[in-house]
Each structure stands twice: as structure tokens, then as C-alpha cells.
């Protein structure tokens, strides 16, 4: 079978990414630029700032990716594009300004090169990241339950194969704050830097003798697959106010509270994921999204996964990247005329596609 090579673009949030993927699994080239340093100054993502950075970085990232792909053509990038079989782009969900940069770039490339264009749901990309850099016998056994946890999403998705198709069924998600959003907001309350997940994880590593903080695990025992993290954030706000009022606010206290925040969020994610896998008789648990780079979450799932196979992408493939979009394009994507593709910031998981 002839190799199929896809040039993929991902710009759903604050990363500008491009990648070249062979047969949905092999990463031939990949480049990512992030505006995270800019957002640290404001304690979170400002959509307009993210979109401006996407615009500034899009062409340099494409150029870097194509040079990685064909270094011999670094002075003749159109020649490298001739070796591409198809283009792929994230068209949602995400920030509308950021999405537009990637979508319009991909549409322009499709028009100029006459290459077919495949529009991909960003969330499907996080699931298909588990197929990257694997041989067919190493692919996840299905049905599988995927946990997608990031700054904007906390979703549980059943992934099945029916009639040579991958079928995605949304099982549940957050009713308010996403897990990553909760990390960010709690870190802000603790006067820690953005992004909150890594800052809280770093502070937690310094804890030796844990103080007896007890934070809520929202909805952890409810027999549903929904999440809610706003109450946890509120509990942290009140706890910090109390500690400061009692003049007990010091670095050790802050570290211990960070440890408990990480424990609370990871406990809920693990409990709900395992419950979903049991309920739907899954063979595998698949992770995706920036929060799943958290080592405590990974270790808890490894410990409690029971009979389920556990698939966790490398950290560089958990955070937003274009390689996962290329994988999704190969395994589940369908070509769409470039004129019909539009950015959809509120896109959901409701999709069936050819394998």
C-alpha cells in the first residue's frame, strides 16, 4: 500500500502547530510555538492575544515543519508540498480567533496546491494521539473509554469500532470548570504562576509532612459521568482567606494546600474514568489533553486501572499539537471541499468515520 502523507495544522488555543504524519502513526516532522509566556503576565489566556500570536507564528511554523520534512528543499518549499497527499486542520472546538488562523491557512493551502482538505475535531485528535508512533498490533483494544482533560475540556468518550468504523460516543463532561481551568484558578488564589497545573504539581513535590487539609471531591460518588470543579475552587478560596486571617499563610502551608488540590482533582478524574470503563465494559482506558501530563494522575490510573489496558501518550503529545490532528485525519477523517469548512468554536463529539 502506498504511503499516505498528511500535513496537519492545529491552532485551537494558544499553540500554533504543524506536523507531517505518515500513515497516521509516524511523525515525519513537527513544530509547535506557544504564547504561554505572554499569558503568564495576565494569569491566563486572553483570546485576542492568542489569535495575534497565531497569526505571527503560522508561517514560520509551517516553514519549520516543511524544512524538517524535506531539508533538501529548504529553499524551495513548494517542492516539499508536492510530496504531501492531503492537508488537515482543526476546525473546532476552541477559541474562534485562533481557530480562524489555522482554518484559513489550511483552506488557502488547499486552494493553491489542489490538495484535499480534512477538517478535524480537536477532541478526536486527543483520542487518536494514542495511535501515534505505534504498530497496528500496539493500537488500543476497543471498546475504550477516553478521558480528555485540559484547560478547556473534561470529557469522557466511549470509542468503539463498528463495521470497520470508529464510533465516538460522548458519555459525560464538566458542568462548569474544566479540570485544567480549576488548576489555573486555584493556582491564582495561591499566588502561583500560570499555567496552574505545573505550578501546583511543583509545589506539591516539596511536601513532606502533609497538614490535615481536606478539600471536597465534587460528584465523586454520584453514579453519573459528569464533573464539577467550581465548588472545589470556591473551597480553596475560603480556605486561603481563613489561613490568611489566622496568620497561618506561609510557604509550607501553600505547598500543602497545593498537594491537596492536586489530590482532589486527580481522585475525581480517576474514579469517574474507572467507573465509566466498568459501566461500558471497556478493554482500554485512553488519556488525552494537557492535564493528563500530570504525573500524580498517571500514577493513580496505573495503580487503579484494574483489568483495563492503559494508554497514555508522551507528554509532548498530551498537550496541543498537530501530530494528533494528522493521526485523526488518517484514521477517521473525510475530505471536505475547502469552501465548506468553517471554524466551529462550540464543536461537540458526535461523529462516526471510516477507519
Q: Which domain CATH number covers 22?
A: 3.30.420.40
Check whether residue 80 and residue 174 sit in a common domain: no
Which string of b and e fits 206-222 if b means at least 16 CB within 10 Å? ebeeeeebebebbbeee
* pLDDT given at position 349: 85
Structure confidence by residue, pLDDT tens digits, 252-292:
999 999 999 999 999 999 999 999 999 999 999 999 999 99
pTM of the entire structure?
Answer: 0.94
Residue 115 is assigned to a structural domain of this protein: yes
* pLDDT given at position 353: 35
Domain span at residue 209 reads 141-313
Check whether residue 304 and residue 224 sit in a common domain: yes
Check whether residue 178 and residue 286 sit in a common domain: yes
* pLDDT given at position 170: 95
Residue 12: CA count within 13 A, CB half-sphere: 31
Check whether residue 301 and residue 161 sit in a common domain: yes
Under 8 Å between Cβ of 30 and 323: yes
**Could you tell me the CA-to-CA distances from 19 to 15, 27, 87, 327 in Å, in that order?**
13, 7, 10, 10
Residue 168, beta-bridge partner list = 159, 351
Neighbours of 130 (CB within 10 A): 25
Check whether residue 181 and residue 301 sit in a common domain: yes
Residue 136 is assigned to a structural domain of this protein: no
Q: Let me know the angle formed at the C-alpha of 23 by 125 and 115, rounded to the nearest 5 degrees.
A: 85
* pLDDT given at position 165: 83
Residue 134 is assigned to a structural domain of this protein: no
Check whether residue 264 and residue 343 sit in a common domain: no
* pLDDT given at position 244: 93
* pLDDT given at position 355: 33
Residue 124 is assigned to a structural domain of this protein: yes
* pLDDT given at position 351: 46
* pLDDT given at position 2: 58
Write phi, then psi, for 336 (nearest 5 degrees): -130, 135
Check whether residue 125 and residue 37 sit in a common domain: yes
Structural domain total, the chain: 2
Structure confidence by residue, pLDDT tens digits, 284-311:
999 999 999 999 999 999 999 888 999 9
Q: CA 353, CA 276: separation in Å to the nearest integer? A: 23
Measuring CA to CA, which residue among 277, 293, 334 is closest to residue 117?
Answer: 334
* pLDDT given at position 91: 98
Check whether residue 182 and residue 215 sit in a common domain: yes
* pLDDT given at position 1: 43
Mode of pairing for the β-strands spanning 26-34 and 15-22: antiparallel
Q: Hey, what's the cell of 117?
A: 482538505
Strand order in the sheet with 26-34: 26-34, 15-22, 5-10, 86-92, 117-121
Q: Which residue has the cell 502547530?
A: 17
Low-confidence ranges of the chain (pLDDT < 50): 1, 351-355
Q: CA 94, CA 104: separation in Å to the nearest integer? A: 15
Check whether residue 160 and residue 173 sit in a common domain: yes
Check whether residue 193 and residue 287 sit in a common domain: yes
Amino acid at each position: 500500500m502506498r504511503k499516505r502523507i498528511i500535513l496537519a495544522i492545529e491552532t485551537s488555543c494558544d499553540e500554533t502547530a504543524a506536523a507531517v504524519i505518515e500513515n497516521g502513526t509516524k511523525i515525519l516532522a513537527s513544530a509547535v510555538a506557544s504564547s504561554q509566556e505572554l499569558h503568564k503576565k495576565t494569569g491566563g489566556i486572553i483570546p485576542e492575544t492568542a489569535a495575534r500570536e497565531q497569526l505571527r507564528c503560522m508561517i514560520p511554523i509551517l516553514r519549520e515543519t516543511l524544512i524538517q520534512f524535506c531539508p533538501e528543499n529548504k529553499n524551495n518549499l513548494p517542492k516539499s508540498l508536492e510530496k504531501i497527499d492531503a492537508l488537515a486542520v482543526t476546525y473546532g472546538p476552541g477559541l474562534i480567533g485562533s481557530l480562524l488562523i489555522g482554518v484559513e491557512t489550511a483552506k488557502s493551502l488547499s486552494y493553491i496546491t489542489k490538495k484535499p482538505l480534512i477538517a478535524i475535531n480537536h477532541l478526536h485528535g486527543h483520542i487518536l494521539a494514542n495511535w501515534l508512533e505505534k504498530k497496528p498490533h500496539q493500537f488500543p483494544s476497543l471498546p475504550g473509554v477516553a478521558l480528555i482533560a485540559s484547560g478547556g475540556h473534561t470529557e469522557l468518550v466511549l470509542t468503539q469500532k463498528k463495521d470497520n468504523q470508529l464510533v465516538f460516543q460522548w458519555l459525560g463532561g464538566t458542568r462548569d470548570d474544566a479540570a485544567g481551568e480549576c488548576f489555573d484558578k486555584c493556582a491564582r488564589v495561591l499566588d502561583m504562576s500560570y499555567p496552574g497545573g505545573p505550578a501546583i504539581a511543583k509545589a506539591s513535590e516539596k511536601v513532606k509532612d502533609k497538614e490535615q487539609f481536606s478539600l471536597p471531591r465534587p460528584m465523586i460518588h454520584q453514579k453519573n459521568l459528569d464533573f464539577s470543579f467550581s465548588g472545589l475552587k470556591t473551597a480553596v478560596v475560603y480556605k486561603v482567606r481563613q489561613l490568611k486571617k489566622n496568620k497561618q499563610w506561609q510557604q509550607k502551608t501553600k505547598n500543602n494546600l497545593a498537594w491537596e488540590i492536586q489530590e482532589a482533582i486527580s481522585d475525581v478524574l480517576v474514579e469517574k474514568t474507572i467507573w465509566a470503563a466498568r459501566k461500558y465494559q471497556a478493554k482500554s482506558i485512553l488519556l488525552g489533553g494537557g492535564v493528563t501530563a500530570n504525573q500524580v494522575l498517571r500514577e493513580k490510573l496505573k495503580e487503579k486501572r484494574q483489568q483495563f489496558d492503559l494508554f497514555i501518550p508522551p507528554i509532548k503529545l498530551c498537550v496541543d499539537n498537530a501530530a494528533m490532528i494528522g493521526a485523526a485525519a488518517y484514521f477517521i477523517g473525510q475530505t471536505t471541499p475547502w469552501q465548506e469548512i468553517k471554524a466551529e468554536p462550540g464543536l461537540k463529539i458526535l461523529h462516526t468515520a471510516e477507519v
